[in-house]
């Protein structure tokens, strides 16, 4: 009994979103693939087809592999630490704490509200080797001075610290929301059977929080793969490319070196990488949980 | 493990420490997370010479607002603030038009290809702008929109995340409502506007807050598509300010950092509950 | 949307100008003159003090030249400015004038973006000869001059006189040779246990490629021979310079292997380092921050003194109307006059680009009061053009990466530079082959 109008209207309502979606998400992916097969830089102002040459150069460049490794290290280290801190804080905050609870929550969550760029500024100042706050307090614990952003081994960890500080409050909040939705009866039943606190965390809390964890992991992976602001403002990829990550590398090629062909090849590699990691993770986690969209 | 008492508090109680220890742990963590901001605030109120003391001074010995005056003399931060507000609200307003339309379609109407089309929106949630800055920059360039506020807004006008959240909310509205509304002659867009959206108010607020925070903090995209101070936003202003040839002027830099972060933080402190509920709510929906 | 508003604004200011010089205009248009509007990209990130000085000069110029209106566009630091120029030229919408970082000259050439200025220069006998020769190195190609020096600097050595006195060195005598530098740095470094509380000397990171070029010059070498189209990253002189750095940082451990460009000036003020290699551009910052006496000196010599100059040059763009190019030249000639050059130098802290500027009363006054400003000028006698090549941004990254690795002691200076040389030859193969 549906009129023509009814049949057409769904598409009509979708048109504005779909046009934008296609123009700024799907067309770009396709056009990256296309441009990546061309030489297109300052000296070749019109795109020239070169097949897979950009990819050959890319994969033959040791720097690319270093950048890929930096990115993976960054993702693999920040996410578990951020999640563990978020979860522990959430479990602690879920206890009865009176009015102070709110203060704790605000203290942990406010970094979510400030721009990454501002977080970068704060931490560059804190991490200053000579007059920075962190080295000062570390010294009072007898820790030898660390040169942080000046040092090849410490620069990436320093950026990761900043990211963890900035992000864990948000994940904590998501976990808190998850915790508040858990059925109280299960805990009571477990208590009756004499289960200890940690036991209950392991047997009830963690399994029931699994869907929340999946959400947190996916969001975490997307945000950490896209790290750019911190690198751009804290180290510019240095020293010695020890903090250069994929998005920053794309930025360098496409905008500083004005090489759109190579920038597009990198974009393609990057998109494939994100999708692959997310797919694999979803598969792994789905096996254990019933994740409902 | 089994011998442990029933709750964490009780466990601590048995250790004779009860909730005090819990508070102490949380207090230490809170102090550590809050310290960076207070340190920046303190630095921003210091004379340049007072920054270089061997022992950090939390209370500025000669408090001054001069750094904030210098900040405004050195860069048009007022203009940056206006631009930020324009861009953020420009994004939100259009999102609140496009997203409910799409969400309504996916939540309420049956049509060929709905699964596939919804999939397109879901994948966009995973494919943030950072991944495709290069082709999007070329598109904006081809449209002749480089260095405009519009360029900073355009790619965000369709939000898969907003569509996803609103669809969930709309689905929770019982069918009966729609039937009743139909009888009253209220259908389609009017039903969406007068019935569904008001019912989904918590979701709308939650998404709006998240959108505002996200785009207030945007960096890479505005950095790439703009290059004149007239259109640039706060975060970019702060970044340009850092990369001066003359080296970091910490008190002024920290004044800049405080100024860039303060508007949202004040809003957050005043509407704390709303913010926290919204972020919790929107997160859970995922 | 914005462009419209800007146009309307321009339109309105145009009306005002027209009204103000009404008579003049009507008389002149009878002779065929009309207003030429010039877009001028200027590399400063924010409308800070520097932009104000530029604004003031541009307004003065516009007032003196009723038929030319220069519109400055503040386009960010050097990198963003170059990015903006690239985009504009590729989009077929070049600016009329831009100040661009000097090492980008070959890139502009390769893009076919700029015009040679010899015909204009010939109109003003003696004009080009007034510039310091070292500043013109980055302007010339195949016998033609393509760029005019504007905001220029060189690196110098800053030293903390209080720290010198403290360890029994003469506070008024900075090191003049590499040997002295290493010696002084050892005496100035203070440690508690293995923890360094004060470094002897900091060679700032971030632009360490620029400082390194100076050290190579001090050894009598060169990194890129632009006119011979030859890359010499692993020349004996370059290896010697890098070996000296590594000796300071890893052997003697008297300097931090890495640092960032923006944070070392505060380090110097905080007494974290007794000597600092940095640009002349931080002089004003140091003066207003340090509560100890300090000095600025030539970078110490190896076989000779030497430095690579830095900064930005004026360029006029191709594919704009002839009358715009003519007007652009009028502006550049005006703003690089001795009077303006000395005013600009005093207001900005940059080195005045021509020798005769230092003879003016204004400059004389300044340098009598602050003789440090003369150090950069006098070092120009040993100054050379900055290395340059097409896709310079890439070149810089390659060199910086090699330096950073060697400074960390991860690879030997020779290996690091050999690798950089190889990578350079690959990156620039088409350019090198055209030799």
Q: Kindly report, residue by residue over C154-204, the tens digit of the pLDDT.
A: 999 999 999 999 999 999 999 999 999 999 999 999 998 878 889 999 999
Backbone Cα Rg of chain B: 25
Mean pLDDT of the region C409-425: 95
Q: How far apart are CA C86 and CA A258, in angstroms?
A: 8
Q: Tell me the two tokens of residue C49.
A: 């003090």
Going by DSSP bridges, is the β-strand pair C224-225/C383-384 parallel, antiparallel, or unpaired? unpaired
8 Å CB contact of A150 and C258: yes
Q: Which residues of A touch B21 (CB under 8 A)?
A: none
Fold of C2-20+32-152+310-383: D-Maltodextrin-Binding Protein; domain 2 (3.40.190)
pLDDT above 70: residue C7: no
B274, A123 Cβ separation under 8 angstroms: no
- CA contacts within 13 A on the Cβ side of C308: 24
Q: What percent of chain B has pLDDT over 70?
A: 90
pLDDT-derived band of residue B194, with 50, 70 and 90 as boundaries? confident
| Whole-number pLDDT of residue C26 | 42
pLDDT-derived band of residue A89, with 50, 70 and 90 as boundaries? very high
B183 lies within 8 A of chain A by CB: no
Q: How far apart are CA A286 and CA B123, in angstroms?
A: 17
Q: Kindly report, residue by residue over C389-405, the tens digit of the pLDDT.
A: 988 989 999 999 999 99
Q: Which residues of B touch C74 (CB under 8 A)?
A: 228-229
DSSP 8-state code for residue C100: E
8 Å CB contact of C3 and B244: no
Q: Under DSSP, is residue C221 helix (H, G, I), strand (E, B) or coil?
A: coil
Q: B41: distance to nearest CA of chain C, Å? A: 19
Residues carrying CATH 1.10.3720.10, chain B: 71-285
C89, C113 Cβ separation under 8 angstroms: yes
| pLDDT, greater one: B53 or A119 | A119
* Phi (first) and psi of residue B113, to 5 degrees: 85, 10
8 Å CB contact of A24 and B158: yes
Q: B60: distance to nearest CA of chain C, Å? A: 16
Q: Tell me the two tokens of residue C181.
A: 């530098």
Closest Cα to residue A122, out of B204, C218, C7, B255?
Answer: B255
Q: Is the peptide bond before A239 cis (omega within 30 degrees of 0)?
A: yes
* Phi (first) and psi of residue B95, to 5 degrees: -60, -40
A260-263, long-range: CB < 8 A, 24+ apart: A260/A35, A260/A40, A260/A41, A260/A47, A260/B134, A260/B138, A261/A35, A261/A36, A261/A38, A261/A39, A261/A40, A261/A41, A261/A47, A261/A50, A261/A54, A262/A41, A262/A54, A262/A57, A262/A58, A263/B134
Q: Tokens 């309105």 belong to which residue?
A: C12
Based on the number of CB atoms within 10 Å of its own CB, is C388 exposed (0-12), middle (13-18) or buried (19 or more)? buried
The residues facing C97 across adjacent strands are C40, C316
Among A57-71, B130-144, C252-266, the range of highest mean pLDDT: A57-71
| Whole-number pLDDT of residue C23 | 43
pLDDT above 70: residue B2: no
8 Å CB contact of C1 and B247: no
Residues carrying CATH 3.40.190.10, chain C: 2-20+32-152+310-383, 155-308+389-433
8 Å CB contact of B160 and A21: yes
pLDDT above 50: residue C72: yes
Q: Tell me the two tokens of residue C100.
A: 């661009």
Q: Superfamily assignment of B71-285 in CATH?
A: MetI-like (1.10.3720.10)
Q: Kindly report, residue by residue over B168-183, the tens digit of the pLDDT.
A: 899 888 888 777 777 7
State which residue of chain A sits closest to C109, comparing Cα positions: A43
Q: Which residues of C touch A42 (CB under 8 A)?
A: 86, 107, 110-111, 390-391
| pLDDT, greater one: A186 or C131 | C131
| pLDDT, greater one: A263 or B176 | A263
Q: Which residues of C touch A152 (CB under 8 A)?
A: 257-258, 404, 408, 410
| Whole-number pLDDT of residue B234 | 94
pLDDT above 90: residue C25: no
| Whole-number pLDDT of residue B1 | 37
pLDDT above 70: residue C64: yes
Q: Tell me the two tokens of residue B39.
A: 């340190």
8 Å CB contact of B231 and C2: yes
pLDDT above 80: residue A292: no
pLDDT above 90: residue C113: yes
Mean pLDDT of the region B18-41: 91
State which residue of chain B sits closest to A173, comparing Cα positions: B280
Q: Kindly report, residue by residue over A24-50, the tens digit of the pLDDT.
A: 999 999 999 999 999 998 878 889 999
pLDDT above 80: residue A289: no
Helix/strand/coil (H, E, C) string of C130-172?
HECHHHHHHHEECCEECCEEEEEECEEEEEEHHHHHHCCCCCC
State which residue of chain B sits closest to C93, comparing Cα positions: B144
Count of CB atoms situated within 10 Å of the CB of A221: 18
Q: How far apart are CA B98 and CA B121, in angstroms?
A: 12
Sign of CA dihedral C84, C90, C93, C97: positive
Q: Tell me the two tokens of residue B17.
A: 């420490």
Q: Which residues of A touch C400 (CB under 8 A)?
A: 238, 240
* Phi (first) and psi of residue C53, to 5 degrees: -65, -45
Q: Tell me the two tokens of residue C245.
A: 């750095």
Domains and CATH numbers, chain A: 32-286 (1.10.3720.10)
Terminal CA-CA length for chain A: 31
In total, chain C counts a number of residues equal to 435
pLDDT-derived band of residue A109, with 50, 70 and 90 as boundaries? very high
Q: How far apart are CA B121 and CA B126, in angstroms?
A: 9
State which residue of chain A sits closest to C409, comparing Cα positions: A152
Count of CB atoms situated within 10 Å of the CB of A80: 12
- CA contacts within 13 A on the Cβ side of C32: 1
Candidates B57, B231, B247, B255, partner chain C, best to mutate (most C CBs within 10 A): B247
| Whole-number pLDDT of residue C14 | 46
pLDDT above 60: residue C280: yes
| Whole-number pLDDT of residue B246 | 60
Q: Which residues of C touch A131 (CB under 8 A)?
A: 266, 270, 272
State which residue of chain B sits closest to C51, comparing Cα positions: B74
State which residue of chain C sits closest to A42, comparing Cα positions: C111
Q: Superfamily assignment of C155-308+389-433 in CATH?
A: Periplasmic binding protein-like II (3.40.190.10)
Q: Tokens 């601590």 belong to which residue?
A: B12
Q: Which residues of B touch A81 (CB under 8 A)?
A: none
Q: Which residues of A touch B33 (CB under 8 A)?
A: 107-108, 110-111, 165, 169
Largest CA distance in chain B: 77
Q: Tell me the two tokens of residue C297.
A: 């000196």
Mean pLDDT of chain C: 88
Mean pLDDT of the region B17-43: 90
| Whole-number pLDDT of residue B3 | 41
Count of CB atoms situated within 10 Å of the CB of A281: 14
| Whole-number pLDDT of residue B227 | 78
Based on the number of CB atoms within 10 Å of its own CB, is C291 exposed (0-12), middle (13-18) or buried (19 or more)? exposed
Q: Which residues of C touch A43 (CB under 8 A)?
A: 110-111, 390, 430
pLDDT-derived band of residue B22, with 50, 70 and 90 as boundaries? confident
| Whole-number pLDDT of residue C45 | 56
Task: Give the closest of C1, C263, C270 to B150, CB-based.
Answer: C1
DSSP 8-state code for residue B3: T
Q: Kindly report, residue by residue over C236-250, the tens digit of the pLDDT.
A: 999 999 999 999 999
Q: A153: distance to nearest CA of chain B, Å? A: 23
B122 lies within 8 A of chain A by CB: yes
Candidates C197, C389, C390, C397, partner chain A, best to mutate (most A CBs within 10 A): C397
Q: How far apart are CA C262 and CA B247, in angstroms?
A: 4
8 Å CB contact of C258 and A238: yes
Closest Cα to residue A45, out of A224, A258, A222, A207?
Answer: A258
Based on the number of CB atoms within 10 Å of its own CB, is A138 exposed (0-12), middle (13-18) or buried (19 or more)? middle
Task: Give the closest of C391, C407, C408 to A42, CB-based.
Answer: C391
8 Å CB contact of A111 and B33: yes
Count of CB atoms situated within 10 Å of the CB of A92: 18
Mean pLDDT of the region C142-160: 93
Task: Give the closest of C83, C263, C394 to A255, CB-based.
Answer: C83
Q: Can you spell out the DSSP letters for chain A?
A: ---HHHHHHHHHHHHHHHHHHIIIIIHHHHHHHHHTTEEEETTEEEEEE-TTHHHHHHHH-HHHHHHHHHHHHHHHHHHHHHHHHHHHHHHHHTS--TTHHHHHHHHHHGGGGS-HHHHHHHHHHHT-TTT-HHHHHHHHTTPPP--GGGSTTTHHHHHHHHHHHHHHHHHHHHHHHHHHTS-HHHHHHHHHTT--HHHHIIIIIHHHTHHHHHHHHHHHHHHHHT--HHHHHHTTT-STTTT--HHHHHHIIIIIS--HHHHHHHHHHHHHHHHHHHHHHHHHHHTTS----
Q: How far apart are CA C124 and CA C329, in angstroms?
A: 11
Q: Which residues of C touch B246 (CB under 8 A)?
A: 265, 281-282, 284-285
Q: Kindly report, residue by residue over C352-375, the tens digit of the pLDDT.
A: 899 999 998 888 888 888 888 888
pLDDT-derived band of residue A145, with 50, 70 and 90 as boundaries? confident
pLDDT above 60: residue C29: no
Q: Tokens 């494939």 belong to which residue?
A: A272
Q: What percent of chain A has pLDDT over 70?
A: 95
- The B-side interface with C (CB below 8 A) comprises 48-49, 51-52, 73-76, 141, 146-150, 227-231, 237, 240-250
Average the pLDDT over each of B38-52, B75-89, B97-111, C68-82 and give the range with the smallest value: C68-82
8 Å CB contact of C74 and B76: no
A130, B54 Cβ separation under 8 angstroms: no
Backbone Cα Rg of chain C: 23
* Phi (first) and psi of residue C154, to 5 degrees: -140, 160
Mean pLDDT of the region B113-132: 86
Average the pLDDT over each of A227-236, B239-248, C182-191 and give the range with the smallest value: B239-248
C314, C150 Cβ separation under 8 angstroms: yes
A45 lies within 8 A of chain C by CB: yes
């Amino acid at each position: 009994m549906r009129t023509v109008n009814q049949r057409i209207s769904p598409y009509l309502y979708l048109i504005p979103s779909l046009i934008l979606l296609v123009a700024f998400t799907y067309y770009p992916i396709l056009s990256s693939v296309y441009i990546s097969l061309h030489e297109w830089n300052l000296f070749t102002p019109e795109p020239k087809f070169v097949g897979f040459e950009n990819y050959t150069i890319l994969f033959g460049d040791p720097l690319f592999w270093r950048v890929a490794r930096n990115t993976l290290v960054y993702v693999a280290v920040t996410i578990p630490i951020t999640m563990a801190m978020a979860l522990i804080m959430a479990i602690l905050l879920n206890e009865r704490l009176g009015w102070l609870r709110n203060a704790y929550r605000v203290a942990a969550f406010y970094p979510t509200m400030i721009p990454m760029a501002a977080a970068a500024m704060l931490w560059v100042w804190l991490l200053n080797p000579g007059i920075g706050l962190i080295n000062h307090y570390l010294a009072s614990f007898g820790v030898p001075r660390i040169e942080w952003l000046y040092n090849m081994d410490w620069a990436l960890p320093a950026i990761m610290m900043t990211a963890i500080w900035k992000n864990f409050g948000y994940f904590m909040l998501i976990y808190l929301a998850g915790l508040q939705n858990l059925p109280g009866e299960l805990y009571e039943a477990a208590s009756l059977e004499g289960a200890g606190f940690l036991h209950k965390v392991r047997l009830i809390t963690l399994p029931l929080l699994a869907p929340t964890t999946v959400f947190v992991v996916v969001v975490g992976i997307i945000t950490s793969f896209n790290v750019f602001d911190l690198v751009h403002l804290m180290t510019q990829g240095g020293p010695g490319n020890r903090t250069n990550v994929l998005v920053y590398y794309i930025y360098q090629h496409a905008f500083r070196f004005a090489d759109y062909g190579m920038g597009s090849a990198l974009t393609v590699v990057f998109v494939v990488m994100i999708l692959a990691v997310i797919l694999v993770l979803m598969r792994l986690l789905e096996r254990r949980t019933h994740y409902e969209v | 493990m089994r011998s442990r008492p029933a709750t964490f508090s009780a466990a601590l109680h048995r250790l004779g420490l009860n909730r005090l220890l819990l508070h102490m742990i949380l207090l230490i963590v809170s102090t550590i997370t809050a310290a960076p901001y207070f340190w920046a605030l303190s630095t921003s109120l210091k004379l340049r010479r007072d920054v270089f003391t061997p022992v950090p001074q939390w209370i500025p010995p000669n408090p001054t607002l001069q750094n904030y005056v210098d900040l405004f003399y050195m860069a048009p931060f007022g203009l940056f603030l206006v631009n930020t507000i324009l861009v953020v609200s420009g994004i939100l307003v259009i999102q609140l038009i496009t997203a409910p339309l799409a969400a309504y379609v996916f939540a309420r109407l049956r049509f060929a290809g709905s699964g596939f089309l919804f999939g397109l929106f879901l994948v966009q949630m995973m494919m943030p702008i950072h991944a495709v800055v290069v082709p999007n920059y070329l598109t904006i360039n081809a449209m002749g929109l480089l260095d405009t506020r519009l360029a900073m807004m355009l790619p965000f006008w369709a939000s898969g995340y907003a569509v996803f959240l609103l669809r969930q909310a709309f689905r929770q509205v019982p069918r009966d409502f729609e039937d009743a509304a139909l009888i009253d002659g209220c259908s389609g867009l009017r039903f969406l506007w007068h019935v569904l959206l008001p019912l989904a108010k918590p979701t709308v607020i939650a998404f709006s807050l998240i959108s505002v925070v996200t785009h207030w903090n945007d960096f890479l995209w505005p950095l790439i598509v703009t290059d004149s101070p007239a259109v640039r936003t706060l975060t970019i202003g702060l970044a340009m300010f850092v990369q001066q040839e003359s080296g970091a002027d910490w008190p002024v830099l920290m004044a800049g950092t405080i100024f860039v972060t303060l508007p949202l933080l004040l809003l957050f402190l005043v509407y704390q509950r709303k913010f926290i509920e919204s972020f919790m709510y929107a997160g859970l929906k995922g | 949307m914005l462009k419209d508003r800007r146009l309307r604004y321009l339109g309105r200011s145009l009306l005002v100008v027209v009204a103000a010089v009404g008579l003049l205009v009507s008389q002149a248009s009878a002779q065929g003159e009309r207003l030429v509007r010039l877009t001028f990209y200027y590399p400063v990130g924010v409308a800070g003090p520097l932009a104000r000085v530029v604004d003031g000069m541009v307004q003065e110029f516009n007032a003196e030249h009723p038929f030319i209106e220069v519109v400055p566009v503040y386009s960010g630091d050097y990198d963003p400015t170059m990015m903006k120029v690239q985009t504009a030229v590729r989009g077929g919408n070049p600016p009329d004038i831009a100040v661009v970082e000097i090492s980008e000259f070959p890139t502009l050439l390769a893009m076919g973006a700029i015009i040679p200025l010899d015909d204009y220069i010939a109109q003003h006998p003696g004009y080009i000869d007034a510039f310091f020769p070292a500043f013109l190195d980055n302007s010339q190609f195949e016998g033609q001059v393509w760029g005019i020096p504007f905001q220029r600097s060189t690196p110098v050595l800053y030293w903390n006189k209080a720290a010198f006195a403290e360890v029994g060195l003469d506070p008024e005598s900075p090191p003049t040779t590499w040997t002295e530098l290493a010696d002084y740095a050892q005496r100035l470094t203070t440690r508690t246990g293995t923890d360094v509380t004060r470094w002897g000397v900091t060679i700032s990171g971030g632009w360490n490629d620029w400082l390194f070029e100076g050290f190579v010059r001090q050894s009598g070498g060169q990194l890129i021979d632009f006119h011979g189209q030859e890359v010499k990253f692993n020349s004996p002189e370059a290896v010697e310079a890098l070996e000296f750095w590594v000796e300071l940082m890893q052997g003697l451990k008297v300097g931090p292997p890495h640092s960032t460009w923006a944070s070392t000036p505060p380090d110097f003020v905080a007494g974290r380092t007794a000597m600092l290699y940095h640009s002349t551009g931080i002089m004003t910052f140091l003066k207003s921050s340090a509560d100890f006496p300090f000095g600025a000196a030539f970078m110490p010599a190896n076989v000779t003194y030497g430095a690579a100059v830095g900064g930005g040059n004026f360029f006029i763009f191709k594919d704009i109307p002839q009358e715009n190019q003519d007007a652009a030249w009028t502006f550049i000639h005006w703003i690089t006059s001795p009077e303006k050059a000395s005013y600009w130098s005093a207001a900005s802290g940059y080195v005045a680009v021509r020798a005769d500027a230092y003879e003016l009363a204004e400059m004389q006054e300044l340098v009598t009061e602050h003789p440090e400003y003369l150090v950069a000028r006098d070092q120009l006698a040993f100054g050379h053009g900055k290395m340059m090549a097409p896709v310079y941004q890439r070149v810089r990254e390659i060199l910086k990466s090699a330096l950073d690795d060697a400074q960390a002691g991860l690879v030997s200076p020779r290996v690091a530079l050999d690798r950089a040389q190889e990578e350079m030859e690959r990156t620039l193969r088409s350019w090198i082959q055209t030799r």
